[in-house]
């Protein structure tokens, strides 16, 4: 039994003092004792470590490169062109090295688990690997190395555009037909059955990349799985769906699928207030990726309407252009303030600080949409725990909830001491336990990629 102790610990019913957490061999929380003297590893502040709800790990290695362009005007679609070109330089070995590096940075940023939206299935020429799970296995291998808890979402991607156009260069690494996809999920379920905290979910890339009947079949065949999809990210995407399918993407999903809490809709940055109100009734969660959405010029989510309608959300690092848990929360709240011309824009109650409310939202949304038993420091939950050092003078006069405000809006130092993912103590003194090896493989991958690009 592993013991960790915190001077202050965020439990489901609020802050507790001098609290011991006992973690069993499996990595689950076995028992919690409050108001007790220090024992085991001692920390200042312990919080549940949130789930990163949406990511494409390989895009971590595009950072810097994708900010240069020969186009006159640049937008999401020109960024996407570069991403396709970039993929033509990524071997399975390099893909795995990049994934491990991104996952390591996620842990160092305070995330306890990752929901990876994984759509790179085929080889560099766009042909199927003999083992269809080759690239999925690379994500799993990386998670074994980084120690991050994983929900893997293999993604269905059938065609190049809304009209059913063929996959173009770059996209051909994504394509699988429904039968191949079904078999891939089946294979991944078998290969991960002995991994206690690797979970398999399902995903469709977007309405523009799959057939309507395939999406309906996906929901039917994999009932009860987490099911994710990119939705209403870009104006052009919404217009295309509306012109071809007679409904906006969100309207179409509401009318044609059984949206519920298993569904996670990613982005929704182009959603009307009316759609937000209707969508919230379904129980579906929205995955917001504020830093990437700003980087790609996606637009700003209508947070006020979503929260007023009772909607839930989590956050993801998406393109991994900057992997920062507290940075995502700052970007989210500030973009909402700019949109609404108000302060404390995502605040719904009067009891808690905005920092605490944002943190609670992402814990709940992340747990719901990943299918991972996390988000609470509670018996039988995975010990996904974030240990912070808040002993500097800046925190001395603040109440516990106010400390979260300071971390999100004002902290410039790294206050993350440790991160545990299912009890694995993967980050200690702010650094990942395998940083040297993971970094060295990543450097090698970058060198090889730069020769090809």
Catalytic residue among 118, 205, 228, 267: 267
Q: What is the rounded CA–CA span in Å between residue 24 and residue 430?
A: 24
Catalogue the long-range contacts made by 439-444 (C-beta closer than 8 Å, 24 or more residues apart): 439/101, 441/97, 441/100, 441/101, 442/61, 442/97, 442/98, 442/100, 442/101, 444/97
H or E element in which residue 138 lies: helix 134-146
Question: Contact at 8 Å (CB) between 143 and 103?
Answer: yes
The three-state secondary structure class of 54 is: strand
Extract the runs of DSSP E, i.e. beta strands, from 24-136: 29-33, 41-48, 51-55, 113-118
212 secondary structure, DSSP code = H
Q: How far is the CB of 99 from Zn ion (least distance, A)?
A: 15
Alpha helical stretches, state H, 205-353: 212-221, 235-245, 249-256, 273-282, 290-295, 303-308, 325-340
Judged by CB under 5 A, the stretch of 19-27, 274-282, 315-323, 426-434 that binds Zn ion is 315-323
Nearer to Zn ion, 318 or 328 (CB): 318
CA dihedral for 33, 36, 38, 42, sign (positive or negative): positive
Query: Quick one: how many helices (H) and strands (E) in the chain?
Result: 14, 17
Q: How far is the CB of 313 from Zn ion (least distance, A)?
A: 15
Nearer to Zn ion, 148 or 345 (CB): 148
Nearer to Zn ion, 16 or 210 (CB): 210
Judged by CB under 5 A, the stretch of 81-89, 177-185, 241-249, 313-321 that binds Zn ion is 313-321
CA dihedral for 251, 254, 257, 261, sign (positive or negative): positive
Alpha helical stretches, state H, 283-399: 290-295, 303-308, 325-340, 354-370
Told to judge if 267 belongs to the known catalytic residues of this protein, a careful annotator would answer yes
Nearer to Zn ion, 52 or 353 (CB): 52
φ, ψ of residue 301 in degrees (nearest 5): -60, 145
Judged by CB under 5 A, the stretch of 216-224, 306-314, 316-324, 419-427 that binds Zn ion is 316-324
Judged by CB under 5 A, the stretch of 94-102, 123-131, 278-286, 317-325 that binds Zn ion is 317-325
Q: How far is the CB of 316 from Zn ion (least distance, A)?
A: 8
Judged by CB under 5 A, the stretch of 27-35, 68-76, 102-110, 311-319 that binds Zn ion is 311-319
Catalytic residue among 197, 318, 360, 400: 318
Q: How far is the CB of 293 from Zn ion (least distance, A)?
A: 10
Nearer to Zn ion, 313 or 382 (CB): 313
The 21-60 contact track toward Zn ion, x by CB under 5 A, reads: ----------------------------------------
Judged by CB under 5 A, the stretch of 68-76, 165-173, 314-322, 413-421 that binds Zn ion is 314-322
Nearer to Zn ion, 105 or 318 (CB): 318
Whole-angstrom CA distances from 382 to 13, 106, 233, 372, 388 are 18, 17, 32, 8, 19
Whole-angstrom CA distances from 322 to 230, 236, 375, 386 are 20, 26, 23, 19
Number of residues that bind Zn ion (CB under 5 A): 1
Sites for Zn ion among residues 164-223 (CB under 5 A): none
Q: How far is the CB of 250 from Zn ion (least distance, A)?
A: 17
Question: Contact at 8 Å (CB) between 51 and 114?
Answer: yes
Whole-angstrom CA distances from 8 to 32, 42, 133, 277 are 13, 11, 44, 37
Nearer to Zn ion, 47 or 215 (CB): 215
Nearer to Zn ion, 318 or 411 (CB): 318
Told to judge if 397 belongs to the known catalytic residues of this protein, a careful annotator would answer no
Q: What's the maximum distance between 2 C-alpha atoms anywhere in the chain?
A: 65
Q: How far is the CB of 56 from Zn ion (least distance, A)?
A: 6
Question: Contact at 8 Å (CB) between 203 and 54?
Answer: no
Q: How far is the CB of 296 from Zn ion (least distance, A)?
A: 10
Q: How far is the CB of 321 from Zn ion (least distance, A)?
A: 12
Q: Which residue is nearest to Zn ion (CB)?
A: 318
Q: Which tokens in the block code for residue 108? A: 């160092």
Residues contributing to the site for Zn ion (CB under 5 A): 318
Residue positions annotated with a catalytic role: 267, 318
């Amino acid at each position: 039994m592993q013991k960790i102790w915190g001077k202050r610990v965020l439990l489901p019913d609020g802050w507790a003092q001098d609290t011991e957490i006992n973690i069993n061999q499996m990595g689950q929380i076995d028992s919690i004792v409050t108001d007790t003297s220090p024992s085991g590893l001692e920390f200042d502040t312990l919080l549940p470590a949130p789930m990163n709800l949406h990511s494409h790990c390989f895009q971590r290695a595009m950072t810097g490169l994708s900010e240069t362009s020969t186009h006159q005007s640049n937008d999401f679609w020109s960024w996407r062109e570069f991403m396709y070109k970039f993929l033509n330089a990524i071997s399975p070995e390099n893909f795995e090295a990049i994934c491990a590096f991104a996952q390591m940075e996620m842990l160092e940023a305070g995330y306890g688990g990752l929901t990876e939206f994984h759509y790179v299935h085929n080889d560099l020429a766009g042909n199927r690997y003999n083992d269809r799970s080759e690239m999925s296995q690379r994500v799993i291998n990386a998670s074994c190395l980084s120690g991050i808890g994983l929900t893997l979402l293999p993604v269905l991607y059938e065609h190049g555009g809304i009209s059913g156009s063929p996959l173009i260069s770059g996209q051909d690494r994504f394509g699988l037909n429904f039968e191949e996809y079904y078999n891939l999920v089946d294979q991944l379920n078998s290969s991960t059955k002995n991994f206690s905290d690797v979970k398999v979910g399902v995903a469709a890339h977007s309405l523009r990349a799959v057939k309507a009947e395939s999406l309906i079949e996906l929901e039917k065949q994999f009932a009860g799985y987490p099911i994710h999809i990119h939705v209403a990210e870009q104006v052009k995407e919404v217009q295309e769906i509306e012109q071809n399918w007679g409904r906006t993407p969100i309207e179409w999903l509401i009318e044609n699928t059984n949206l519920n809490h298993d569904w996670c809709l990613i982005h929704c940055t182009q959603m009307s207030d009316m759609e937000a109100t209707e969508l919230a009734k379904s129980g579906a969660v929205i995955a917001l990726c504020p830093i990437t959405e700003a980087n790609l010029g996606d637009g700003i989510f209508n947070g006020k309407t979503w929260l007023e309608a009772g909607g839930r959300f989590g956050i993801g690092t998406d393109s991994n252009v900057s992997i920062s848990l507290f940075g995502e929360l700052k970007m989210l709240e500030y973009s909402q303030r700019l949109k609404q011309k108000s302060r404390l824009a995502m605040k719904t109650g009067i009891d808690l600080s905005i920092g605490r409310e944002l943190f609670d939202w992402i814990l709940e949304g992340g747990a719901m949409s990943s299918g991972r038993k996390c988000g609470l420091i509670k018996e039988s939950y995975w010990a996904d725990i974030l240990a912070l050092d808040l002993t500097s003078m800046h925190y001395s006069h603040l109440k516990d909830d106010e400390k979260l405000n300071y971390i999100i809006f004002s902290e410039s130092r790294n206050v993350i001491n440790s991160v545990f993912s299912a009890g694995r103590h993967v980050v200690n003194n702010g650094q990942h336990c395998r940083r040297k090896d993971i970094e060295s493989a990543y450097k090698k991958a970058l060198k090889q990629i730069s020769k090809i690009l």
